[in-house]
Structures are given as C-alpha cells and as structure tokens.
C-alpha cells in the first residue's frame, strides 16, 4: 500500500475521532440559560440558599418486581452549601395516551447526597412502582406505548418535589426514555 494513502487514511481517522469527541462534549454541555433543572433550598436565617441541578442518566422500570430505578447526577455550584437532603420524584407517561394519564413513583428522600464533599454526585433512587400491576397502565411495547419520564428534585420537601397536573408536560423532547424490563411482548 502506498504510504501516502495510508498516512491520508490515518489523518482522516484522527480527524473523525477528534470531531466525534468534541461533538459529544459540546452536545453534553448545557447551553447557558437552557432549561436547567435548578432546585433551591428554602431560605433560613444565616444561611444562603443552596442551588443544585440534576441530570437524568437512566430510568429503569421493572414491572414484574414492581420497582422503578432513577439514576441521576446532582451538582452544586462551587462554594454552595450542600443540602442535607433532596427528594426525587419520577413521573412516567406514554406520549400516545389519549387520556393523558401519568403514573408516578413515591417521592424518595436522599439523605446527605454530598457527604463526601464533592460538587457532583451520582445517585440511584429505588422506588416502588405501585401502579405497575395496574391493568389500565399500558404495557410497553404494545403498539406505540413507550414510556417516558420526568424527574423532579427538591431540597425543600417531598411535597415540593411533586408536580401539579398543569406542570406535567407530555412532550417527549426533553423527557427521558424509560427502559422497561420484564415485559412479555
């Protein structure tokens, strides 16, 4: 093989690899002012309100064992006080449900998520899926019934982590796709 052709092939490969790495990094970095999931801790005298953001990594639904797992990254700003606890509430929906129903896990309290002192932590919340055996909940894979989810996080209380009906958005563009395990197709 001609050494020039081989050198050109290696150069094209390296350029493609670098473009893929930088493109992935660019797409994974939220834009300033983008729809960031910012959570505030309630103001208490003598303390500044802590601000954290969250990013969903993976949501898994196990209908047989009636469990839901939400893996997310929590991040606090440099110098911000770490919240003593956060509540995570996951809402599930199917975009093609004409009744526009949603199902939710129970709110789960995560105590001292930043105990190691880091600014960024990954947590997996394990919650019961009391609606998994509900016959009115569509089976994933049945026609166009794919599950998507929204996750709400609060440093204030489990009630503050709840989404009111008018806040629940059934648009899948910013929703997290759900991996459903244990379904029979």
Cα-based torsion angle of the residue sequence 13, 14, 20, 23 in order, rounded to the nearest 10 degrees: -140
Give the C-alpha separation, 144 to 40, whole Å: 37
Question: How many CA atoms lie within 13 Å of 101's alpha carbon, on the beta-carbon side?
Answer: 10
8 Å CB contact between 150 and 89: no
8 Å CB contact between 150 and 171: no
pLDDT tens sequence across 61-98:
887 888 999 999 999 988 888 899 999 999 888 887 77
Matching CATH number, 41-181, of 3.30.1490, 2.20.200, 2.30.30, 2.60.40:
2.60.40
8 Å CB contact between 51 and 106: no
> Domain limits of the chain?
1-29, 41-181
pLDDT tens sequence across 109-146:
999 999 998 999 999 999 988 777 665 566 555 544 68
Q: Encoding tokens for residue 177?
A: 């796709």
Tokens 């440099």 correspond to what residue?
78
């Amino acid at each position: 093989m001609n050494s020039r052709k081989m050198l050109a092939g290696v150069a094209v490969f390296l350029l493609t690899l670098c473009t893929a790495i930088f493109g992935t990094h660019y797409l994974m970095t939220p834009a300033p002012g983008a729809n960031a999931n910012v959570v505030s801790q309630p103001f208490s005298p003598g303390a500044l309100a802590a601000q954290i953001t969250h990013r969903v990594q993976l949501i898994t639904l196990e209908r047989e064992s009636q469990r839901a797992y939400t893996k997310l990254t929590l991040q606090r700003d440099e110098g911000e006080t770490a919240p003593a606890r956060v509540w995570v509430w996951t809402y599930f929906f199917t975009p093609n449900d004409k009744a526009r129903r949603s199902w939710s896990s129970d709110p789960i309290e995560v105590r001292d998520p930043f105990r190691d002192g880091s600014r960024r932590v990954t947590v997996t919340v394990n919650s019961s899926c009391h609606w998994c055996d509900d016959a009115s909940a569509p089976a994933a894979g049945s026609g166009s019934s794919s599950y998507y989810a929204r996750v709400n996080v609060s440093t204030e209380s489990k009630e503050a982590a709840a989404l009111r009906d008018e806040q629940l958005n059934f648009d899948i563009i910013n929703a997290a796709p759900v991996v459903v395990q244990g379904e029979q197709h």
